[in-house]
């Protein structure tokens, strides 16, 4: 029987000593040598205050307010505090535990002819310390520390996300203000055209159909202006929520759109992607899952606890702390489960499955991050070419409108042709504005995808 128990104990130790599976680097995606839309160089460096190159004091103020009062950031901060508290608990489990006890009881002494009840007082200190034979407590502590790292990175990611959303919302608002001015100018121009057409209609120079057409165009553009006003309200209230304020008390006055557009460096090193906080968090979560495999394997080891106690016992409270009443003791308590119905093996398998899931999640996050960067770089490259084409279209449409207006006033073309020229000019100007707005949005998107901005100074200004 002794030999059988010894063999079983040895088998359990060997199971506990089995090495924790490490993450295979070949299973993880690697950063590319270069992105499709750019080469590589060492000129760009990430910066934490990535919004400052936009050189917009209002944007700076909004980001600052969001960092102070945004609820998403506050929730991430609370989750970090929880993770740190859990780490403190895991660290405390590896330290000796000291406690004090005191008590009083009344009982009779057996064996006496007439039992006499007596009061007995006790007081003492108790010390307990678990010997971490299999490293279970160490793995638990390491996993908790990695959880803290993950939460720190997730907090950084929440801040970056809120900053990017504030920038996107603010830039969309400024672009919308410019578009509203454009549509209102068009409404004013149609108003002038309507006045001219009404005069000519009273003189009998134009038909009622021409007058109806101008009125329809004016009303359509007035409706479009109101639609843009509605959209502005939505953008403004969304910004209010981002900065943690009530929409009723938040407002941004329309102003000239003079926000600078940071220039993307000619080459972006692919290593910049490594600083993305969500990727760092996913890597920490992966390593924490690996540590928990070790924690589950350590359950095969026997538990061994060292205890010590000392104090006093006396029938008189005044004698409780005297040397004659002192007691002490030390002990070593060991436990080894012989049959658990497969609980420990199931725990190891569950930890391994969680590790596999974390590995897959990291790979997916990495690939999505690469996609984000490639999408924004590609968009910026195409938007630059689209901007040049839009500028040519705006210039041509403006010239066509100028000529059409002159010819219409001199009676060489119909009013329908003038309206078509005006519609074309408005459509091209709005299209060019939307392209410029998309450039700002893609720039913020690229900064978000890379986990921060780069250091080169801006060289372009909206409307310049």
Q: Quick: pLDDT tens for 66-100.
A: 999 999 999 999 999 999 999 999 999 888 988 88
Does residue 58 carry a pLDDT above 90? Answer: yes
d(CA 299, CA 12): 10
Does residue 182 carry a pLDDT above 80? Answer: yes
CB atoms within 10 A of CB 235: 20
pLDDT in tens, 413-422: 877 788 888 8
Does residue 434 carry a pLDDT above 70? Answer: yes
Q: Are strands 453-454 and 46-47 parallel, antiparallel or unpaired?
A: antiparallel
pLDDT value at position 318? Answer: 65
* pLDDT, greater one: 79 or 327: 79
Averaged pLDDT score across all residues of the chain: 82
d(CA 218, CA 195): 11
Entry pTM: 0.81
pLDDT in tens, 361-377: 999 998 898 899 889 98
Structure tokens at 275: 């600083």
Domain boundaries, the chain: 18-102+119-461
d(CA 386, CA 401): 22
Question: Which residue has 């590896």 as its token pair?
Answer: 94
Whether residue 182 contacts residue 426, with contact meaning beta carbons closer than 8 Å, is answered with yes
Does residue 230 carry a pLDDT above 60? Answer: yes
pLDDT value at position 20? Answer: 45
Report helix, strand or coil for 97.
Answer: strand
Fold category of 18-102+119-461 in CATH: Outer membrane efflux proteins (OEP) (1.20.1600)
Does residue 212 carry a pLDDT above 70? Answer: yes
pLDDT value at position 457? Answer: 41
Whether residue 80 contacts residue 155, with contact meaning beta carbons closer than 8 Å, is answered with yes
Structure tokens at 414: 């119909």
Does residue 142 carry a pLDDT above 50? Answer: yes
Give φ, ψ of 328 to 5 degrees. Answer: -155, 165
**Could you write out the DSSP letters of every residue in 176-240?**
HHHHHHHHHHHHHHHHHHHHHHHHHHHTTSS-HHHHHHHHHHHHHHHHHHHHHHHHHHHHHHHHH
Report helix, strand or coil for 136.
Answer: helix
């Amino acid at each position: 029987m002794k030999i059988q128990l010894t063999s079983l104990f040895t088998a359990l130790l060997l199971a506990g000593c089995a090495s924790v599976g490490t993450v295979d680097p070949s299973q993880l995606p690697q950063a590319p040598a270069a992105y499709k839309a750019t080469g590589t160089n060492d000129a760009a460096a990430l910066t934490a205050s990535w919004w400052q190159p936009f050189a917009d004091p209002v944007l700076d103020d909004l980001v600052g307010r969001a960092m102070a009062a945004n609820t998403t950031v506050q929730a991430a901060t609370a989750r970090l505090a929880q993770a740190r508290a859990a780490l403190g608990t895991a660290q405390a489990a590896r330290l000796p535990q000291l406690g004090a006890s005191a008590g009083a009881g009344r009982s009779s002494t057996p064996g006496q002819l007439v039992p006499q009840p007596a009061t007995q007082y006790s007081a003492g200190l108790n010390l307990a310390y678990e010997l971490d034979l299999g490293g279970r407590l160490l793995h638990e502590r390491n996993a908790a520390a990695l959880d803290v790292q993950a939460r720190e990175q997730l907090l950084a990611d929440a801040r970056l996300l809120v900053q990017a959303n504030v920038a996107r919302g603010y830039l969309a608002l400024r672009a919308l203000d410019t578009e509203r001015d454009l549509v209102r100018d068009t409404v004013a121009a149609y108003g002038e055209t309507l006045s001219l057409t009404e005069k000519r209609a009273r003189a009998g120079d134009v038909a009622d159909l021409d007058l109806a057409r101008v009125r329809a165009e004016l009303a359509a553009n007035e409706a479009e202006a109101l639609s843009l006003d509605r959209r502005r309200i939505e953008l403004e209230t969304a910004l209010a929520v981002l900065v943690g304020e009530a929409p009723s008390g938040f407002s941004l006055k329309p102003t000239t759109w003079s926000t600078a557009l940071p220039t993307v460096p000619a080459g972006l090193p692919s290593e910049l992607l490594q600083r993305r906080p969500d990727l760092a968090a996913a890597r920490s979560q992966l390593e924490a899952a690996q540590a928990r495999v070790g924690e589950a394997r350590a359950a095969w080891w026997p538990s061994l606890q060292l205890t010590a106690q000392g104090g006093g016992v006396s029938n008189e409270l005044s004698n409780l702390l005297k040397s004659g009443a002192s007691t002490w003791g030390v002990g070593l308590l060991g436990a080894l489960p012989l049959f658990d119905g497969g609980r420990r093996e199931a725990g190891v398998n569950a930890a391994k499955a969680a590790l596999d899931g974390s590995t897959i999640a990291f790979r997916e996050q990495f690939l999505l991050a690469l996609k984000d960067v490639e999408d924004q770089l590609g968009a910026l490259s195409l938007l630059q070419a689209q901007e040049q084409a839009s500028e040519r279209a705006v210039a041509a449409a403006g010239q066509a409108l100028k000529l059409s207006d002159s010819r219409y006033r001199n009676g060489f073309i119909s009013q329908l042709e003038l309206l078509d020229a005006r519609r074309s000019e408005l459509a091209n100007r709005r299209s060019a504005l939307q392209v410029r707005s998309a450039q700002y949005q893609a720039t913020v998107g690229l900064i978000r995808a890379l986990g921060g901005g780069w250091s080169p100074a801006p060289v372009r200004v909206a409307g310049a």
